Amino acid sequence: MNKVRLGFFSFTEITDPGEHHSYNEWHQLDHMPEQFPLDGIAYGQRWVSTPACRAARAVSEPPLDSIHYMTLYLMTEPVERTLAEFRQLGRDLRAVGRFHLHRRARLSGPFALRDAAVAPRVLISAEAVPYRPNLGVFVEVEERPDGDDAAGQEQIRDVHLPALCAQPGVAGAWSFADEQRRVTVTWLDAPPRDMSDRLAPIVARRRESATGRTVFAGSLETITPWQWTWFDAADTE
């Protein structure tokens, strides 16, 4: 049984083009490490939508069109206490000036883990996929129609996740949902920019068959500490 109950996502836009280095230094060296002592935080990782990844997005609609980064924390029981402590820690850090001001969360919050799948070639269990080293992720955000639950999730579990996991370069995929949206995260061990082209047809088939509407689909690269130069060009968004 998977010990993870929730994925807490933050899709983040940096509002000042000159603040990317500062934001990454703050998040990786200060903010994220403070989360792991909380009892219910199993793991956390961040990824960046580089200019190349952004250009290769299969779907990119407002407000997620403007995001530069995605953070995912995996949370276990006790869920309610973990969420309360997680949010209180954020307030406490902000109160002492340890919070980055030049950022805007375009989508943020807890999503229940619904299903997990793994590519047979990687040998590990589906439950272990997020802890395996990766080069990036491919992320889909879908707006759920009213009443979409069992049937929609069955299609994700039986059709969409297997289709993703059948592709070379995919290690596994997890599906999360709240009342309004579904988020599918696919972990990659091939260059994310290349995987965008490979996975785009699967996203297109999903959009044709689903009752919901995909509003974001694209790859993001794994962030290596102290290597934060993706947006150093003069023209950044």
Over residues 68-121, the pLDDT tens digits come to: 999 999 999 999 999 999 999 999 999 999 999 999 999 999 999 999 999 999
Q: How many domains does the chain have?
A: 1
With a cut of 70, say whether residue 174 has pLDDT above it: yes
Average pLDDT, the chain: 94
- Tell which residue, 100, 117, 114, 129, has the closest CA to residue 10: 100
Confidence of residue 227 (pLDDT cuts 50, 70, 90): very high
Half-sphere exposure of 162 (CA within 13 A, CB side): 6
Question: What pLDDT shows up at residue 147?
Answer: 63
Condensed to tens digits (0 to 9), the pLDDT of residues 118-130 reads 999 999 999 999 9
| Residues of the chain above pLDDT 90, percent | 89
DSSP secondary structure of 196-225: HHHHHHHHHHHHHH-SSEEEEEEEEEEPPT
| Mean predicted confidence (pLDDT) in 205-233 | 92
Dist. CA 121–CA 61, nearest whole Å = 34
pLDDT exceeds cutoff 70 at 236: no
Average the pLDDT over each of 4-13, 41-50, 226-235 and give the range with the smallest value.
Answer: 226-235
Q: Assess if residue 59 is contained within a domain.
A: yes
pLDDT, mean of residues 177-205: 95
Look up the pTM and report it.
Answer: 0.95
Q: Is 234 inside a domain boundary?
A: no
30 lies in some domain: yes
What CATH number does the domain containing 93 carry? 3.30.70.100
> How crowded is residue 101: how many other Cβ atoms within 10 Å of its Cβ?
12
Identify the DSSP state of 54. Answer: H
DSSP labels, 17-43: GGGHHHHHHHIIIIIHHHHTTSTTEEE
Give the pair of three-digit tokens for residue 97: 């000036």
* 232 domain-assigned: no
Q: Are 20 and 74 in contact (CB under 8 A)?
A: no
Distance from C-alpha of 70 to C-alpha of 46, rounded to nearest angstrom:
6
- Classify residue 230: in a domain, yes or no: no
Q: Establish if 218 belongs to a structural domain.
A: yes
Alpha carbon 135 to chain centroid, angstroms = 13
Element (H, E) at 181: strand 181-188
The DSSP bridge pattern shows strands 136-143 and 213-222 to be: antiparallel
Residue 193 has pLDDT above 50, yes or no: yes
Q: Which two tokens stand for residue 139?
A: 């992320």
* pLDDT tens string 92-102: 999 999 999 99
Q: What is the mean pLDDT of residues 51-77?
A: 97
CB 142 within 8 A of CB 185: no
From residue 65, how far is each of 27, 129, 216 by CA, in Å? Answer: 21, 27, 7
Instruction: Confirm whether 198 is domain-assigned.
Output: yes
How many other CB atoms are there within 10 angstroms of residue 33's CB atom? 11
Residue 227 covered by a domain: no
Domain membership of residue 119 as a residue range: 4-222
Given a contact cutoff of 8 angstroms between Cβ atoms, the answer to whether 13 and 66 are in contact is yes
Q: Give 134-162 pLDDT, tens digit per residue.
A: 999 999 999 988 766 677 788 899 999 99
